Amino acid sequence: MLEGFYKVTYQVDDAVGRSVMYANGGSMLGGNSAFAHYGTYREVDGVVISEITSHRHNDDPGYQSLLGSDIATIDVRGRAVGDIYHFEGGSPQMPGAVFRSVMTPIADGIVPPTDAIGEGGIVNGLYSIHIQMLDGLDGGLTGVMLLHDGRILGGDAFFYYLGTYSSANGRWKGEILNQEHTPARSEHPIFGGHEVGIGFAGTCDDRGALLEATALAGKRSLRLTAVLKLMRPA
C-alpha cells in the first residue's frame, strides 16, 4: 500500500521534473521548488488511482510548469514494482500529453517530541518555504514543508528535509536535516554535497510562519531566514 515519504521523478512527454511526496491515509502532499502538490489516492485490486493538483507557490518565471498552467490537475493510475511505484496518466490542461512518474521511498523514521503542539501552535499542513541566506551571502532555496504534530517532511527538486519541532503561543522551534535525493552541487553550491543540520526558532500564526536559523554545511556555519505560507491544511 502506498504509505510513506517518497522522492518523485515525473515526465510530461519529453520534459522532466522532480519533487517529494508524502502519502498517508488516502492523502498525498508534497511539491518542489515552485509548485505544491496535493490530492488523494485509493487502491483497487492492486491498482493505485490518484488525483493530484499542482499549485504554483514561487513567482519566479524561471520555473515553468510542465503542464503549462499555474494550477493544474493530474489523473494517474499505477502499481508497485517492489517498493517503487510507477504511474501513468494525463492532465486536462494538456490534452493528449502523457504524464508518467516514479515514486521511490525515502526512509524517515522521525519520532516527534511528546506533546509537541500546545495552544496557539502552528497549524498542521503543507507549506511553501522560501529560504534566504543572511550575512551578505547570495542565494536561497524554495520548496515545500509538511508539518504534522511535531514532525517535519519536505523538500524540492534536489533536497529532502526531515525534522522535528514544538510550537505553542504563536512561536515554534525545531531541528531539520537537509539531504540530497539528487546531486545538487552544480545548482546549489552552498548546500549541495552536504548533509546540512539546521536549528531554528520563530513565530507562527494560522496562515504561516517565520523562522531564523543556523545551518551547518560541511565546516561552514550559515545564518538564514525563511518564510512559510500555508498551502493546504492537513
* Residue 184 pLDDT grade (very low, low, confident, very high; cuts 50, 70, 90): confident
Q: How confident is the model over 174-178, as a mean pLDDT?
A: 95
Confidence at 176, pLDDT banded by 50, 70, 90: very high
Show the domains of the chain with their CATH numbers. Answer: 4-106 (2.40.128.380), 125-233 (2.40.128.380)
Q: Which residues contact 129 (CB under 8 A, 6 or more apart)?
A: 141, 142, 143, 144, 145, 154, 226, 227, 228
pLDDT of 49:
97
Rg, the chain, Cα only? 17
Given a cut of 80, whether residue 139 has pLDDT beyond it is no
**pLDDT level of residue 63 (50, 70, 90 thresholds):** very high
Task: Please classify residue 95 by burial: count the beta carbons closer than 10 Å to its beta carbon, then call 0-12 exposed, 13-18 middle and 19+ buried.
Answer: exposed
User: What are 152's three cell numbers?
Assistant: 517535519
Residue 28, beta-bridge partner list: 23, 39
Looking at residue 151, its pLDDT comes to 96
Confidence of residue 90 (pLDDT cuts 50, 70, 90): very high
Which is nearest to 39 in space by CA: 191, 219, 232? 232
Q: In sequence order, which residues have a C-beta less than 8 Å from that of residue 132 and are 6 or more positions away?
A: 140, 224, 225, 226
Contact 52, 31 (CB under 8 A): no
pLDDT at res. 219: 82
- The mean pLDDT value of the chain amounts to 93
Phi-psi category of residue 31: left, alpha or beta, with phi > 0 → left and psi -120 to 50 → alpha: left
pLDDT at 159: 93
For the CA atoms of 155, 36, 148, 227, the dihedral, rounded to the nearest 10 degrees, stands at 70
Tell me the whole-structure pTM to 2 decimals: 0.93
Q: What is the pLDDT of residues 3-31, one digit of tens each?
A: 999 999 999 988 999 999 999 999 999 99
pLDDT of residue 174: 97
What pLDDT digit, counting tens, does each position of 64-75 carry? Answer: 999 999 999 999
Q: Percent of the chain scored above 70 by pLDDT?
A: 99
Stretch 193-199: mean pLDDT, rounded? 89
**Predicted confidence band at 52 (pLDDT cuts at 50, 70, 90)?**
very high
Contact 165, 174 (CB under 8 A): yes
Asked if residue 45 has pLDDT above 90, the reply is yes
